[in-house]
Structure 1
Amino acid sequence: MNRFRRASDRFLSTGVVRWSDRVLDGAVAGLACWTVVFHFARWTGMGRDGALGLWIVAIVAWTVLRLCRPVGQAEWGSATSDPAPDQRWSVAGLAVVALVLVWVDVDGLLWPVLWAVMCILLLAAVRRSLPMTDPTTVGKETARAVPTDAAAVAVLLLAVVMAFLSLVMVRPDQDDVFVVNRSTWIAEHDTSFPERDTIFSDDVLPVQRPAGLPTSLEAFIGSVAALVRVTAATLTYLGLAPLVAALSVLATWRLLRGLGARAPVLATWAGAAFLILDGAEHGSFGNFSAGRSWQGKVVFLMLVVPMLWHHAAALGRTGRRKHLSATVLGVVAGLGLTSTAVLVAPAVVAAATTATAVHATTGRARRARLGCCLVATLPALVVGVGTLLSEPQRLDDSVGALTSGVVAAFDPLRWLDSGTEPIGVVRMVFGDGLGALLAVASALLAWATVGDRSTRLLLLAGPVAVFVGFLAPGVLDVLNEVGEADAIAWRTIWILPIPALVGLMLTQARLVLPGRSPVPSFAVVVAVLLVLALSGTSITSSANRGTRLVWPPAVDLPHPDLDGARGLVDRAPAGGRVAGPEDIDFAVSVLTSRVKSTNPRSSYLRGRHVDGAFRATERRTLSHALEHGWAEWGIDAVADALDGLRPDAVCLRAESPIGDRGEVAKVLVDAGYRPDGTDIVCRYFVRSDPSG
């Protein structure tokens, strides 16, 4: 029986495909629209509620127009019947490269050698995947194929599973000190959006993040939280997170359908299962999925990147305006989610559009498609240039940095002193186990599992952009020196839609045993994932930074430190300051902006917002003493910190691995604090004279 039926024969599956695509495009369009509204509000001083009202009006208008538009009858897919070329040497070579990348530390002078080998193998594969004759299918699309009703239900079930997983996983991430605190501040202040710090001050100190275009997702969450009258933390962790986790499944499924996968539903399940088992590295794709799906960078990676691959590839193949507009919206939405979009979004659009345009068009039509690609990437390019211009001193260094990069490209000795080793970037994301081998092999070899030349070119475009482009010797150093991109340069690997590539690799590759018929794809998927489950670290494992599964669903904050944070907030006046161990201060900053914590994240005790009045050393000293119960730098240093910071309420960690914590408690009493209760987390102290 055929796996696919015509749309007219399957009412349920037709509806699921149509509405899932509409929901995906609508979600990205909504994010893009909010990005524009947010920056318009910043520049005009429009208040929070006015900006949200303007966005709602725009979204209603867009939805009406979208629903009135006729539903398309086709979906882009393979557009050529050229036979697949023999690529056995390229496949064998890239398989060896994958093994080397995973299990050999290829640094120093060895990296340029391996990079040259990758260039030869990947570019040879590209050359042999080009069309054998001039394209004759310009602008055509294949007839819409719709999965069976059971397959559509299976995808929806997977979306529910991932949403549920995001609800019951608790894996606190200190990035939330910035992102969720900003949402909380906006929800609690009916005014214009903040331009400066909201963690330690109320829009007074310089912001912690580098100069550049501010992201808009935090403002959106805060504005909606104020409208529906829930806390920003609740809406973030229990509302946005499961929604994004579910939509990411639909985004991967659509990309796989567009790639012409034989079993897109099974491939989607396989990709999702890989993400769940990919918890060994903090920077892994698995740890940037359901467990952190409320963060803008994860929304970009799991929702926007697959959407860009889908629409940009369709744009290159068909040149249709709807794909151009969807691609532009995806780029703009990405800019509102993460600064990483400045690097990743243009690369994805350029790679996908170029690959399909080269295969489907010639002459003027090809130039028109590439021109559309430039138009789609223009917002990101403008923001990138604007970021450089926002700090003039960067311009003075740009020529020197570029010169340095050029010299590095031709001077092997400079490679030994690389500030960011490409192999380190690979390790940061993929690690070095069997899961890493599957991910890297999928990135380098997924193209070989499909027979269609056009799809092969498209799947080759990603690894060419990453391994030949961004990981070329000297490129990461240039990015670091020109744009101070060292914190996000490793995210250039996000160009690769790894969940979809892993799904393709596991379901498309044929395993043939001697004298037997090919092993069914389902058996291959189950066997490989079982091996990964037994040998790797899942994202739900306690070994993954103390991850816990909880019921009922709870906000992703340290437990039971969350109770200590609430106890501190209850004991402090509005506008006051509290002090406690770092994890408790972290929870305080996420829960409310009306009380300021002393040290919610140690890395934020340095930066351009720090001056003498900030008292960074005193903050660190006090936080350490309250965590460990003893004064490592002396009781006088703790007393000076209390005198300078003057917190209104203090939490001294209740459990006592060393002594009875009497040393710090005595300092607190001598400094004018009195005990105010105890729970399993804290011994609370408040100032005896609040006005003093």
Structure 2
Amino acid sequence: MPNVDSQVMVPDGVRERSAEREPARTGRLSGLVAGLPAFLTDAAVYAFALWTVLYHAAFLFDLAPSVTFVVWLVCSVALGGLAVFLRLRRRSAAASADDDGERAAGGVLDRRWLLPTLAAAVLAAVTAGVDRVSWWVPAVAGLAAATGAVLLLRRAWLASPAGGAVTSRPGAWQSGYALVMAGLVGVASLFLARNTPDDVFYVGKSVWVAERDIVPLRDFLFTEQVAAPLSSQPPIASIEVLAGALGRVFGIHAASATWYVLLPVLAVLAVLSLWRLVQAWAPRRAALAFTVALAFLAFVCGDDAALGTFHLPRLYEGKGMFVSAVVPLMWVYLTRWFDSGSRRELARIVALSIVATGLTSTSVMILPLLVGAAGFGMLLVGRWRSALLAGVAVMTYPIGSVIVTRLTMGPMTSVIAGAQFFDAEGTYRRTLLLGLLGVICGLGLWCGPFLVRRGTPALFAAGATATMSVLLVPGVLEALSAGSGLAAVLWRVPWFVPLPALVGLLCTVDVPALPRVAALRAAVGAVLAAALVGAFAWAGTPMWDTRSFVEVHEQPTWKLPQQRQKIDFWIWQLDDRPSGLLLAPSTLMRTMPIITSEVRVVMARDGYLVDYDMQSQFAQDRLKLAAFADGKEQIAPVSELAAAMDRLDVGTVCVYNGNKRARELAPELRLEKFASRKAPGAVTCYRRTV
């Protein structure tokens, strides 16, 4: 009887083929992981671009948002399946490469002019970050540094026979690390809550769409689409309607669709977009630079204009996703297209410009600066046709959408357009900050062309630095403000510079004087990275700090103060609540449109009244009643309050129990108590009687 434990004889050919399969499988898996960040971000770009086009087309056919959403979902699934099928057919094995070590040198810099240029860059960075120094010092030094960088890198690019083509690919471990970090940030988005006053518009619009299945083309915050819409917020953006339609189709609250579904996805995509730019532009140690860039966004928040504030806490607002994801991706796409001339890359640029349009109207101001900076780099090396084509690809859809909107809805009001203005110094210190952080941001800005990989990235970085340096010259922003009427938002012009990536690349500085020992040079990078992160932690305000107006919760939560949320739900659910507008403390009225569009409020947010003339009766009635409900010391006479209530058809008045003055005046205002809520958040509600 044969031994069942005896070794089974396998033919040599079968054993060899089996041994070959394992490396092949490992190689395919590594390639899949390495390419996943690009696949996810590119797929998201095409998907949202398709949604934006369908959303705009729906106006022509008067389609409900839910119908548009279903059509988009079906088309996305079908086109996505087709894209995967075609990709698998075209796919060929490609070896992944580690990006440690110098890539495609792209020419040698003239050392005679390199040191003076770097000295001017450091001087600009230090003086820009230090208070009590005439702004002309960093402005002139910055211009000198930018000019030197442009001339040096133009010469280096022209001297390189290969130009600056991107030939390397991310390693599987690097992309895996980026995917893990993106996943962690996505999870963190569920637990961090920043109450932003503008949420009443952005999330409130999604709630309106979810509950009514229509896109509000006129005012929906103060009236039932009776008053004119906010001229600064035309219905071009599609992201709020996407969240509302998502909630309606799947039967979930629009705020939950925004904060529990959409926000984590946006967070993952924003982190992967940053990774793609760092990986494409870093000359070495891309994973380390990516870590420093993420630390910059995480630790440098607090100020209302800090770039970290517009990242995780505000990604669901279109402008947050624009600066955090669209800007870095646009630099990636432009770099790849300029190097390859591929029509596929040009199609991605067009799609991303549509995405930007669907996110925020700010894109119409920032995209020309971005493509202008890149186009300037192209012109430096004589590629004027490429510069022209890039400009057309990037700007056609955004400008077309603005023209159509303004022709149909009228021009932007001059009041809101000129509400505020920050000059060059104020713009720098609002966005690039002051002190040690301002110096670090300045180093990233003015040294950026020498931090990135030589070739096209260096050429584009030089164009961005030169453009920003011109904008920071005193008088330039004033002229732009006078010519465009965009004074209120011109402080956002630095957004076109991919600053977090450039700051992260500070740790990739090479030290030629060191021996060519990889471990020693890597140690230098690690020390620089640790110093940068330490500086962020010491001088910055963390994203999760209360000084950043962020609360950290133990479970996923809406981005609202929980007490206000509970009170508004209680008011909404009152069975005997009369018809008419709700008058309540301003904080509660600002929260109610995020809860439901069924309870209409007297004043959703006082800042939006600027669009309707603050001295008009429309605005004054609301301001007087809000002061009464807020318990302010100076309130209007009872007769004026009663007249305002009559004109606005106020049906319900709810005040905190601590507002004794309002409770005392209730009888004179013909207010009858009908509901009360115990502490915490003790509130008394009244109905108006004839």
Distance 2:363 2:331 in 1: 14
1:388 CA drift (Å): 6.6
**Alpha-carbon distance, 1:298 to partner:** 0.8
Contact 2:282 2:505 in 1 (8 A): no
* Equivalent position amino acid for 2:425 in 1: I
Query: Relative to structure 1, is the Cα distance of residues 333 and 355 closer, same or farther in structure 2, using a 3 angstrom cutoff?
Result: same
The separation in 2 between residues aligned to 1:34 and 1:281, in whole angstroms, is 33
- Contact 1:211/1:390 (CA < 8 Å) preserved in 2? no
Shift of 1:631: 5.5
Q: Does structure 2 conserve the Cα–Cα contact (< 8 Å) formed by 1:507 and 1:522?
A: no
- Alignment CA distance shift 1:173-1:74 (3 Å): farther
Which of 533, 537, 540 is residue 541 of structure 2 equivalent to? 537
By how many angstroms is 1:289 displaced? 0.5
SS in 2 for 1:130: helix
Describe the SS at the equivalent of 2:666.
helix
Q: Tell me which of 85, 91, 108 is aligned to 2:110.
A: 85
Give me the CA root mean square deviation.
Answer: 3.3
* Percent identity (aligned): 24
Deviation by residue 1:109-155 (Cα, 9 ceiling, x = unmatched): x5456434322221111111124585776798544433243x33322
- Separation in 2 of the partners of 1:458 and 1:181? 39
Flag the 1:621–1:117 CA change in 2: closer, same or farther, 3 A: same
Counterpart Cα distance in 2 of 1:471 and 1:169: 34
SS of 1:674's partner is strand
Instruction: Name the SS of the counterpart of 1:428 in structure 2.
Output: helix
* SS of equivalent to 1:336: helix
Superposition pairs for residues 145-156 of structure 1, below 5 Å? 145-149=169-173, 151-156=174-179
Q: Deviations over 1:571-616 (max 9, x none)?
A: 37596421211111111011111111122211123323889663x2
Amino acid at match of 2:344: K
Counterpart of 2:584?
580
Structure 1 CA distance for aligned equivalents of residues 568 and 282 of structure 2: 51
Pick from 251, 257, 262: which aligns with 2:273?
251
Q: Deviations over 1:479-536 (max 9, x none)?
A: 323332112211111001122111111343659999x965432232223222321232
Q: CA deviation at 1:20?
A: 1.8
> Structure 1 523/651 Cα, relative in aligned 2: closer, same or farther at 3 Å?
farther
Equivalent residue for 2:557? 554
In structure 2, the residue matched to 1:444 is: 446
Call closer, same or farther: CA 1:605–1:284 in 2, change over 3 Å.
Answer: same
Say which of 621, 625, 630 aligns to 1:622: 625
Matched, 1:475 2:492: no
One-letter amino acid matched to 2:443: A
**Partners of 1:133 and 1:174 in 2: how far apart?**
47
One of 186, 200, 208 as aligned partner of 1:185: 208
Checking the alignment, whether the CA contact within 8 Å between 2:339 and 2:456 is kept in structure 1 is: no
Cα pair 1:576 1:647 within 8 Å, conserved = yes
Q: Any idea what SS the aligned residue of 1:597 has?
A: coil
Determine the structure 1 residue equivalent to 2:261.
Answer: 239
Greater CA drift, 158-167 or 324-333: 158-167
2:398 to 375, 380, 394: 380
1:272 counterpart = 2:299? no
Partners of 1:133 and 1:266 in 2: CA distance: 26
Matches within 5 A, 1:297-336: 297-336=319-358
Could you say which residue in structure 2 is the equivalent of 1:343?
A: 365
- Taking structure 1 as reference, are residues 645 and 161 closer, same or farther at Cα in structure 2, changes over 3 Å only? same
Displacement of 1:65: 3.5
The residue aligned with 1:662 is: 660
Paired position in structure 1 for 2:506: 505
Map 1:354-393 onto structure 2 (within 5 A): 354-355=376-377, 366-377=383-394, 378-383=396-401
| Residues 1:23 and 2:36 are matched in the alignment | no
C-alpha distance in 1, partners of 2:437/2:455?
28
Which residue pairs with 1:32 in the alignment?
A: 49
C-alpha change, 1:463 and 1:634, in structure 2 (3 Å) is same
> Residues 387 and 226 (structure 1 numbering): CA distance in 2 closer, same or farther, change over 3 Å?
closer
- TM-score, normalised via structure 1 length: 0.85
Cα 1:630/1:611, change in 2 over 3 Å:
closer
- Structure 1 residue 351: Cα displacement: 2.6
Please state how far the C-alpha of 1:640 moved relative to its aligned partner: 4.2
Q: Which residue is 1:290 aligned to?
A: 312
Distance 1:390 1:480 in 2: 24
Gaps of 5+ in 1: 1-5, 402-417
Please tell me whether the aligned partners of residues 138 and 318 of structure 1 are also in contact (alpha carbons under 8 angstroms): no
The answer as to whether partners of 1:651 and 1:682 remain within 8 angstroms in 2 is no
Q: Is the Cα–Cα contact under 8 Å of residues 80 and 453 in structure 1 kept in the other structure? A: yes
Cα separation, partners in 2 of 1:16 and 1:393, compared to 1, 3 Å:
closer
Distance of 1:471 and 1:437 partners within structure 2 = 15
2:194 corresponds in structure 1 to 171
Give the Cα–Cα distance (whole angstroms) in 1 for the partners of residues 613 and 246 of structure 2.
29
CA–CA distance in 2 between the matches of 1:308 and 1:131?
25
1:31-70 to 2 correspondences below 5 Å: 31-67=48-84, 68-69=86-87, 70=90
Secondary structure of the 2:321 match is helix
What secondary structure does 2:447 align onto? Answer: helix
Give the one of 543, 566, 570 matched to 2:569. 566
CA–CA separation in structure 2 for the residues paired with 1:393 and 1:648: 35
CA, structure 1 residues 75+248, in 2 after alignment: closer, same or farther (shift >3 Å)? Answer: farther
- Report the CA distance shift for 1:422/1:387 in structure 2 as closer, same or farther (over 3 A): farther
1:454-469 superposed matches below 5 A: 454-468=456-470
**Please, which of 592, 595, 599 is the counterpart of residue 591 of structure 1?**
595
Q: Secondary structure of the residue that 1:84 maps to in structure 2?
A: coil
Q: Structure 1 CA distance, aligned partners of 2:267 and 2:310?
A: 10
Task: Specify which of 214, 219, 231 is matched with residue 236 of structure 2.
Answer: 214
Equivalent pair of 2:278/2:501 in contact (CA under 8 Å): yes
| TM value normalised by structure 2 | 0.85
Q: Quote the Cα distance in structure 2 between the aligned partners of 1:207 and 1:284.
A: 29
SS in 1 for 2:546: coil
1:403-418 map, 5 Å: none
Structure 1 residues 578 and 256: CA distance shift in structure 2, 3 A: same
From the superposition, tell whether residues 563 and 17 of structure 1 become closer, same or farther in structure 2 (CA, over 3 Å): same
Q: Give the SS at the match of 2:260.
A: helix
8 Å CA contact retained: 1:222, 1:232: yes
- Residue 145 of structure 1 aligns to a residue whose secondary structure is coil
